[in-house]
Amino acid sequence: MPKNNNKAHIIVVGNEKGGSGKSTTAMHIIVSLMKRNFSVSVIDLDGRQKSLVRYLENRLNYANKHEIKLTLAEAYTLTRSTTGDLENMMEEDTINFSKLMDRLTPCSDFILIDCPGSDSNLSRLAHSYADTLVTPINDSFLDLDLLATVDADTFKVNRLSLYSEMVWDARKYRAIRDHGTIDWVVMRNRTSSLDALNKRRVNEALKELQKRISFRYIQGLGERVIYRELFPKGLTLVDIRNTEQKITMSQIAARQEIRRLMSELNFPGWQEERA
């Protein structure tokens, strides 16, 4: 059974690029965990887009409108401090963030934090609290550049990117704070079934990169229209069976993909708790 032991497992979904699938992935992780009766607290740090807040609001509206039972969660938001000088702002952010974490920890098995696609003090803080950091990247060399610049022929790392350096710092802060480690998982998102050559090359490059930057690289999710269609209803692939919709072959394959994702993320208690 889910058990908190006063230590919530903290999942941070982050990278420094908008539109790579952070909020979509976050939502699927949240609903997958809730479906197995884990208590999940949600923090949306993307104060501008608030996609996760909106996703969860859509979910509540859909459940009410269609009178169906859906697992629901509330997303907490934190807005970055804007008062005083930079030092003041950073201090205020830190206080607000740790207060919220202290409040949510005793009542959560998992705390999921969705980050904005840009660098901010709050996002840095969140990264330094992560037990698992999930970084979705789209299937192109442009997105690989978020992690490191690689040699075009050998895929050897030339230079780490700002984001990888930020994660490196977060790992240091985490180690200093509580000797903890961050399981950094880079997942591909929106992989196309068409461009086999590009897919293979990105695959090779990521295999090379993971040795150098210490992340685990996993397969992730394919490009599927269904992910875009589910947002307005607040639904995920995990819910499809609970709605009146007829399930299609493509949705069955997509659900399989989500199950594999959850299994590879390997959160504490997940493997034991078979649905």
Any idea which residue has 């550049």 for tokens?
Answer: 145
> Of the listed pieces 2-10, 13-21, 179-187, 239-247, which binds ligand ADP according to CB under 6 A?
13-21
Instruction: Report the SS3 class of residue 112.
Output: strand
> Of the listed pieces 93-101, 124-132, 152-160, 223-231, which binds ligand ADP according to CB under 6 A?
223-231
Residue 23 interacting with ligand ADP (CB under 6 A)? yes
Q: Which residues pair with 184 in a beta bridge?
A: 133
Report, in Å, the least distance between residue 254 CB and ligand ADP. 9
Report, in Å, the least distance between residue 139 CB and ligand ADP. 10
Q: 275 vs 1, 33, 34, CA distance in Å? A: 12, 10, 11
Choosing from 8, 14, 22, 267, the residue that interacts with ligand ADP (CB under 6 A) is 22
Show the binding pattern over residues 35-64: x = contacts Mg ion (CB under 5 A), - = does not: ----------------x-------------
- Dihedral sign from CA coordinates of 154, 158, 161, 166: positive
Choosing from 20, 108, 132, 236, the residue that interacts with ligand ADP (CB under 6 A) is 20
Enumerate residues 178-217 that contact ligand ADP by CB under 6 A.
189-190
Instruction: Report the SS3 class of residue 44.
Output: strand
Q: Tell me whether residue 49 or residue 243 sits nearer to ligand ADP (CB atom).
A: 49
Any idea which residue has 């990117």 for tokens?
Answer: 161
Q: Which residues pair with 13 in a beta bridge?
A: 114, 134
CB atoms < 10 A from the CB of 99, how many?
11
Enumerate residues 119-158 that contact ligand ADP by CB under 6 A.
none
Choosing from 47, 89, 92, 117, the residue that interacts with ligand ADP (CB under 6 A) is 117
Choosing from 150, 202, 218, 221, the residue that interacts with ligand ADP (CB under 6 A) is 221
Residue 57 binds which entry of ligand ADP, Mg ion, none, with Cβ cut-offs from 5 to 8 Å by kind?
Answer: none
Q: Please, are residues 128 and 7 in contact by the beta-carbon 8 Å criterion?
A: no
- CA gap 12, 14 in Å, rounded: 6
User: Total binding residues for ligand ADP by CB under 6 A?
Assistant: 17
Report, in Å, the least distance between residue 41 CB and Mg ion. 18
Residue 17 interacting with Mg ion (CB under 5 A)? no
Report, in Å, the least distance between residue 174 CB and ligand ADP. 23
- CA gap 74, 54 in Å, rounded: 10
Residue 227 binds which entry of ligand ADP, Mg ion, none, with Cβ cut-offs from 5 to 8 Å by kind?
Answer: ligand ADP
Q: DSSP code of 244?
A: S
Q: Please, are residues 46 and 23 in contact by the beta-carbon 8 Å criterion?
A: yes
Q: Please, are residues 75 and 13 in contact by the beta-carbon 8 Å criterion?
A: no
Q: Please, are residues 77 and 119 in contact by the beta-carbon 8 Å criterion?
A: no
Q: Which residues bind ligand ADP (CB under 6 A)?
A: 18-24, 51, 117, 189-190, 221, 223-224, 227-228, 231
